[in-house]
Structure formats: C-alpha cells, structure tokens
Amino acid sequence: MRRRLIQAVVILGVIGLVAIIYLRLFTGGPVSYIGGGWLRGELVTEPVEDWSFIPEQQHYLDVESRAGWLPYSARPWFMVHEQQLYLLLPSLFGDALTRRIAEDPSLRVRVEGRIYPRRAVKVDEEGNLALLLAPFLRRQMAIEIGGKSRRVDSGLDAKVWVYRLDSP
C-alpha cells in the first residue's frame, strides 16, 4: 500500500514537472498568470509612434524579457498615455520581470499577434507617476480620483514599478 502511494506521488510529480516545462517552453508565451518562454508572432521592425490602437478592453500585455538563461514572458498590466506605452508591475506579481528589466531593459511586446521590440525606461518622478496612474486606476479598478487622498493600511508593503516602453 505504501509503495503504491509513493509511486502515485512520483507519477504525479513527473506529470506536474512535464506540464510546467511545456507551459514554460512551448506555449508561445504566458498562459493566464503563469509565466512562459518565447513569444510567438510576426516581428514588426518599423517604429510605432501611437499605441492607442491597442483595444481599450485589453487589460494585460504579453511581454518577453531575454535577460537570463531562458526567455521569460509574463502578462503584466499596461496603459497607453499620450500615445505612449507603459508597463505597470506591482511588487506582488511583477518581481521576476522587474529583476530581469534591471539586468537588461530590452523587451519584446506582443499585441494582436505582432511582436514589437522595445526598451523599458523606469518612470519614477512622483509628478509623472500621479499623471500616469490616475487614468489607469479609473480604467482598471473603477476608482474615481478626486478630493482628498486616503491611505489604506493593509499591512502589505506593495510597490508598483512603472516603465515607459521606448523604441530600442
């Protein structure tokens, strides 16, 4: 009985490992919230000046970083502000991509099956962040900003990194 239980656990472990390897390497990008590998799609080399063609109802963007041994792709929040593309990486979900961007800011972004090479530039001036995040919060979280600022103490030390995606 005990031997069969060990065999079952080993078999389930192997199946899980094969599933993770498949999702990571062979799916052509992230699957829901699970990071993936290489993004597949048509490579676009001409510059993009206006990113407002991305559908308004799309909340996440497929992004690939090639820093490290294997490419890593994720599906972070994004926003288009004044025709420029921005990534928003909260510390709870975006740490892996943030570390990779610090190592190499070159990224590839997939929009509607087309892949655009970009370069991440960190935005950290408070005035610019406030201007950027207000429309995002209204769109993404249905929060209206106005009047007094209120701080909610959740006990979490959550940060959000904002990157503008420029031409490489």
Tokens (6 digits) for 123: 């935005």
pLDDT, one tens digit for every residue, the chain (168 residues): 788 888 889 999 999 888 777 766 666 677 666 677 888 889 998 889 899 898 877 888 899 998 878 888 888 888 888 888 988 887 766 678 888 999 999 999 999 889 999 999 988 776 666 666 666 665 555 544 455 444 444 455 557 788 889 988
Residues 166, 119: contact at Cβ < 8 Å? yes
Provide the mean pLDDT of the chain: 79
What's the pLDDT score for residue 149?
46
Q: To 5 degrees, how large is the angle CA 115–CA 116–CA 121? A: 140
In angstroms, the CA 82 to CA 13 distance is 48
The secondary structure of 98-126 as a DSSP string is HHHHHH--EEEEEETTEEEEEEEEEE--H
Cα–Cα distances (Å) from 23 to 69, 74, 127, 160, in that order, read 17, 12, 40, 27
pLDDT digits (tens, 9 = 90+) for 6-44: 888 999 999 988 877 776 666 667 766 667 788 888 999
Given the DSSP bridges, would you call strands 114-123 and 42-43 parallel, antiparallel or unpaired? parallel
Domains of the chain: 2-166 (2.30.110.10)
